[in-house]
Structure 1
C-alpha cells in the first residue's frame, strides 16, 4: 500500500517537472470577460467598450463586456471579487469602489483586499446639468430655486449616489429629493424630459446631450475648466466648494491572480490607452486617456480609498 502511494507520488512529481511553468505568454487561452457593474450606455460602460475592443485585438482573444448592474455597483464588483483568480474575469472599476467602501455599512467584499488594481484607463470631471427647457442658467439660480422649493427639487443618481451628489446639497444648504437609477442611461431621459431638476453625471454620458441642445451645463468638478466646455465654470468658480475631485476608471482582477497575468494585462492596457484611435474615441466621450500601470495604479487606488473615508467622515456621508 505504502509502496503504491510512494510510486504515485513520484510519478506525479515527474509529470509536474515535465509541465512548463506558467508564462504570461500562455495567457489568454480563452475569451476574457470585463464586468461592468452598471447598465449599458452609462459612463463606465462607454469606456469599457472602447478598451475591450482594442485590448482583445492586442491579446488576440475575445474580450466580452458583461453588464451586471445593481446594489450601487456591488453586484458586479462582488461577482468579480469572488470569481476564479485566473485573469479571465475583470472589473471596470471607478470611484464607486472607494465611495461604497467608505459609506456603506454592509458590503459583501473589501475593495482594498479582494481586488487587485491592474491599470487605470481614464479620468474626467463630473458635470452639473439641467434640462434645456429649465429656466436655470447658473448654479446660483438653481440653488435659489431649490431653497425656495425644497419639495419640488429632485436629482437623479446612479445606485446610491456618489460623493459629488451628496456633497453638492450639503455645501449649498439644499435638500433635493434623490431619485435612484441603475445607470445614467436610464436616468437621462427623465432629466431631458424635465422630470428631474438636475443631475451631476460623468462627461461621457452628458456631453452628447449638451451638444444636441437637450441639456445645459452649469458647472464642472475639478480644479480647472473642462476643455470641451470652456465657457462652463468649475464648481468653485460657481460658488460651491468641496467639489474639486474628478472621476476615474480602471481595470481590476480578483485577489490572488498570478502576478504574471496582472503584469501582462497591465502592460497591454497601457499600450491600448496610448493608441491614437483610443485617445480620439475617448476624447469624443469627454474622457481623457490616463493610463497608469499596476505599480502606479495600486498606490493611487489605496490613496483614493483613504481619501473617500476622510470625505465620508467630514461630511457624515452614509448610504444604505
Structure 2
C-alpha cells in the first residue's frame, strides 16, 4: 500500500511541474493580493506530508502561484492532532499571506471537543470549500461480514465486542454509524494507516471507515472488502460498491471535506479574490484526473455558501460529541 500511495504522490508531483511553468486559463486574469516584493503566500497544512491534504495543498499552491503571479509555498505543520498548524495560521497577520488548508475533522469535529481551548471560528475566517473525499466502510477480506446488515447483527450478538481502528480514542463518523445502527462498538487505537491495516489483518479489529483513496488499493488488492461508500452516489473508483444509504443506512452521508481559511481580519476584497482564484485553480478535467487516484473531488465552494455549510457541519458533530460525552480525543485512562 505504501509503495502505491507513494507512487501516486510522485506522479502528482511530477504532473504539477515547477512553480514557474506557465499557466493562464483563458478565463483567468492575474489576481493581486499584495504589493510586489512581499513575502510568499504560505498555505499551512496542519498534517504530515504525503496524505490527501498535502496533495490538495500542493496542487492548490502550484495553481494559485500561476494565477496570482506570486510565489506560493505549502508548509506542513503537524502536531497536536492538527492544532499546531491551526494555531500558527490563526495567529498570523491578516494580510492574505498566510492561509490554512484544514479538513472538517479539525474545523467541525476536533474544535467541538471541550478540551480544545482554541476558538477556531474567532481566529479564522473561511475562504471557501475546496474538495471532498468520501469514506468507505471496510472489513478484512476473510471476514464473514459481507453487508451492513451482517455488521449490525454481529454487533448486536455481542454488544461492544465489535472493534474498529482509529488513531484517536474516538472516531466521530464511526460513532455516527453505530448510533444510526443502534449498536455498541469499541475503538482500537493505532498509530497510523499501516498499523490499522495490520490490526485488521491480525484480527485485532473487525472493521474500519477509511478515506476512499486509502481504501481502494487494499480493496482492489484483495485485502479488504467494501460494504459501502459514504457518498450520495457511487464512486468511479468503486462502481460496484453501494452507497451506505443503498446498503441500509438511509441518510448516512459523511465525507472528509477540505476548506481554505485565512486569519480573521483579512480584508473582504482579498478573501473574495482568493476564493475566486482557488475555484479557478481547482477547476478543469486535468485537476479531476490528478486528484482521482487519491479519491478527492473538487467542490468549487463559494464564500457565500460556506456559512450555512459550516453551521450544519458543526451542529451535526457537536450534537454527537455531547451525546457521547466526548471531552477529549485522548484515550481515557
Normalized against structure 1, the TM-score is what? 0.79
- In structure 1, the gaps of 5 or more residues are 1-22
Picking from 271, 276, 280, the partner of 1:271 is 280
* Aligned residues of 2:134 and 2:255 also touching (Cα < 8 A): yes
* Cα shift at 1:117: 0.6
Q: Is the 8 A contact 1:131 1:197 kept in 2?
A: yes
C-alpha distance in structure 1 between counterparts of 2:274 and 2:93, whole Å: 16
Deviation at 1:274, TM superposition (A): 0.6
Q: Secondary structure at the match of 1:26?
A: coil
1:240 correspondence with 2:249: yes
In structure 1, what is the Cα distance between the partners aligned to 2:35 and 2:143?
56
- What is the aligned partner in structure 2 of residue 142 from structure 1? 151
Q: Aligned pairs, how many?
A: 295
Alignment partner of 1:116 out of 125, 128, 148:
125
TM-score (norm: length of structure 2): 0.76
- The structure number with the bigger radius of gyration is 1
Q: Which residue does the alignment assign to 2:140?
A: 131
Structure 1 residues 75 and 272, CA gap change in structure 2 (3 angstroms): same
* Residue 304, structure 1, aligned to residue 313, structure 2: yes
Confirm or deny that 1:170 pairs with 2:199: no
Supply the RMSD in Å over aligned alpha carbons: 2.9
Alignment partner of 2:208: what SS?
strand
1:89 to 98, 102, 125: 98
- What do residues 131-169 of structure 1 show as CA deviations (whole Å, max 9, x unaligned)? 233332222223333344556532122445443111122
> For residue 74 of structure 2, what is the aligned residue in structure 1?
64
The worse-fitting range, judged by mean Cα deviation, of 167-176 and 284-293 is 167-176
C-alpha separation in 2, matches of 1:285 and 1:36: 17
2:88 match: secondary structure: helix
More displaced 10-residue stretch of structure 1: 85-94 or 177-186 = 177-186
- Give the Cα separation in 2 of the matches to 1:224 and 1:106: 36
Q: CA offsets per residue over residues 23-75 of structure 1, 9 Å max, x none?
A: 6252683333323333333343343333233333333314223141333x333
1:280 is matched with: 289
CA distance in 2, matches of 1:270, 1:160: 35
Displacement, 1:188? Answer: 4.2
Partner of 2:61: 52
